[in-house]
Each structure stands twice: as C-alpha cells, then as structure tokens.
C-alpha cells in the first residue's frame, strides 16, 4: 500500500504546489484520487507512468478535484492501456461528470466504466472492501475507506519444520491441505493471519459525524488541512473545510496510526507552519509536499 502525492494545493496552485492528485497503489492496481489541473504532467515529473491507473475516484466536483480528469482520460486512451478504467464519483454530480467527459474531441481507444456512487459499500471481494461516506461540504462529497482484509500467509519456519517445499507448497496453497510422507497438513496450521490494513481518504469536509467511522483505526489517513485554527478557524467552519489542528484531533481520537495532511490554502507559503500547529496534538503527522511517497504500513 503506497501513496504518491502528485499535488497538495487547494483551489489555487502555487509555484511549488500543484492542485490535487494522489496515486494509491494496492494489490495490482493504481487508484488515482481527485485529479486536478495538471495531473498528467505531475505523473511525468514523478517518473510514474499514467498507465498504472486502473481506477479514478472523485470525491466531489469542485474544479481543483476534477478538472484534470479529461486530460487523464485522453492520456490513458492515447496510451491504449489494456485495462478498463473505472471512474467512481458522487451520483449527484452526474451532470458535471458527463460534461468533463465531453469537454473536447478525441478518439477514445479504451474502455471507461462510469460508477456513480451513493454512501455505503462500493465493492467487496475476498481480499478487500471499499466503502464511501458522505461528508459535509458545499456540494455532495464522498470520503473513501479502503480495507485490506486479513490474509493467510505461510510461516516459513513451520514449512521448513514440516519438510514442505516446492510444488507441494503450491498444492497446499491451492487445495488447503496436503498429505506428505505419511502426514497430513492444513494450510491454516502452517500459516499466520496478517492484520487488517486500512487507508482512508477525507478531503474537503467540515466537522461531521461520518468522519469518525471513515477514519477509525486507519493505518494511513490522507486528510485536508486547508486552514489553521490560529488564523482561519471561523472561515473554515463557514466554507466547510478542515483546519490542520482539527484533522490532528480527529486522528488522535480515532486510533489513526499515520496522518498525512494536504490541500493547503495558497495563503500559507511555508508548510512548516503546519508542523508547528499539529506537533503537540498528534505526533505521527506528515505535512505532504508534491511528489512525496508514503508507505501505508
């Protein structure tokens, strides 16, 4: 589970901060969140192929979270990536999604699958579960929770003690049990169970009840920090955004292991001011910069 930051600005980009864009890699997929203007160029600067993208998740249809979508769709089509690219977004924004898809003329060479969403379960398999939570903003917005379910992994020491290796181990994995040299073994007795891993995404929201179930016990949380309490707390409440201090309190009070802040107002030129604001509230807070890479452990 790896997160690459492609942009950290809010509505107005700066000389050092592009608009939103976040690439989350898990299992064999690349998931792109909220491509703002210039996102495809940010891939180039990051040295990452846009072809890694299998899914695109839009939290809401304010421009700094979606105006890069047409460019990404056209880039992926030009590359003729083999995968169908699925695009998830709040169902209330259907009009804006369709307009973005038709924003210019191009030859569509790949398959795109539109997935309008309401709050609730997005998708579930044996390996993972994805959930959407309605948050509080001036337009419908969704936060996303990605859950990697516990998995069985072979314990190498136990395999060696049992004298199992090579094709026999493959057979044990496929069938769940195997007999070897007069003994019967099950996969469970020679394995351990990995813990559940959670990544949560919460951008552009004021304080609301749904933040708690969205971020609870997350191993990694990417959260907006548009303003600072010391200067703009009243404004944050008015426009339904989060301050860095509020985000840190949410992380501290909900068992979050790693908080990553982003979506900074252009009025704050030096991100170090965010570090000073949150250092006494939640120690494991990272102030994201464009092109930072985080492992969600």
Q: DSSP letters of 214-239?
A: HHTT-SEEEEE--B-HHHHHHHHHHH
Q: Which of 6-15, 47-56, 226-235, 255-264 has the lowest mean pLDDT?
A: 226-235
**For 172-191, what is the mean pLDDT?**
87
CATH for 2-120+219-229+243-295 is: 3.60.15.10
Summary count for the chain: helices (H), strands (E): 9, 18
Residue 51 has pLDDT above 90, yes or no: yes
Catalytic (active site) residue 64: yes
pLDDT for 69-95, tens place per residue?
Answer: 999 999 999 999 999 999 999 999 999
pLDDT of residue 187: 85
pLDDT of residue 162: 86
Residue 186 has pLDDT above 80, yes or no: yes
Residue 10 has pLDDT above 80, yes or no: yes
Using CA atoms, how far residue 139 sits from 134, 142, 248, in Å, is 11, 10, 24
SS3 at position 117? strand
Using CA atoms, how far residue 226 sits from 77, 165, 202, 231, in Å, is 33, 54, 12, 11
Residue 294 has pLDDT above 90, yes or no: yes
pLDDT of residue 176: 87
Q: Which two tokens stand for residue 46?
A: 């990051």
What is the pLDDT of the chain when averaged over all its residues?
94
Of the listed 34, 64, 204, 219, which one is catalytic?
64
**For 200-211, what is the mean pLDDT?**
97
**For 103-132, what is the mean pLDDT?**
96
**Where would I find the beta strands (DSSP E) of the chain?**
2-7, 21-26, 29-33, 53-57, 85-90, 112-117, 120-124, 128-134, 142-148, 152-154, 177-180, 183-186, 191-193, 197-202, 220-224, 259-262, 285-287, 293-295
The ranges assigned to domains in the chain are 2-120+219-229+243-295, 153-190
């Amino acid at each position: 589970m790896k997160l690459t930051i492609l942009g950290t600005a809010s509505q107005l980009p700066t000389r050092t901060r592009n608009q939103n864009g976040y690439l989350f890699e898990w299992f064999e997929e690349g998931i792109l969140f909220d491509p703002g203007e210039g996102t495809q160029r940010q891939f180039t600067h990051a040295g990452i192929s846009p072809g890694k993208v299998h899914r695109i998740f839009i939290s809401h249809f304010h421009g700094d979270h979606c105006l890069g979508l047409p460019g990404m769709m056209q880039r992926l089509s030009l590359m003729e990536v083999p995968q169908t690219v699925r695009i998830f977004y709040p169902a209330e924004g259907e009009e804006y999604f369709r307009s973005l898809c038709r924003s210019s003329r191009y030859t569509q060479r790949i398959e795109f699958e539109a997935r309008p969403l309401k709050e609730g379960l997005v998708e579930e398999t044996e390996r993972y579960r994805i959930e959407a939570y309605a948050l509080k903003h001036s337009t419908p917005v969704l936060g996303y929770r990605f859950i990697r379910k516990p998995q069985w992994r072979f314990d190498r020491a136990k395999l060696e003690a049992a004298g199992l290796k090579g094709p026999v181990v493959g057979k044990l994995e496929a069938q769940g049990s195997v007999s070897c040299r007069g003994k019967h073994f099950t996969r469970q007795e020679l394995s351990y169970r990995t813990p559940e891993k959670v990544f949560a995404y919460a951008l552009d929201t004021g304080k609301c009840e749904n933040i708690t179930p969205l971020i609870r016990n997350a191993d990694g949380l990417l959260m907006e920090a548009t303003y600072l309490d010391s200067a703009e707390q009243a404004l944050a409440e008015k426009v339904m955004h989060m301050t860095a201090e509020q985000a840190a309190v949410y992380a501290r009070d909900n068992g979050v292991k790693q908080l990553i802040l982003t979506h900074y107002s252009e009025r704050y030129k030096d991100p170090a001011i965010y570090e000073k604001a949150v250092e006494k509230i939640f120690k494991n807070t990272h102030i994201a910069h464009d092109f930072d890479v985080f492992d969600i452990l």
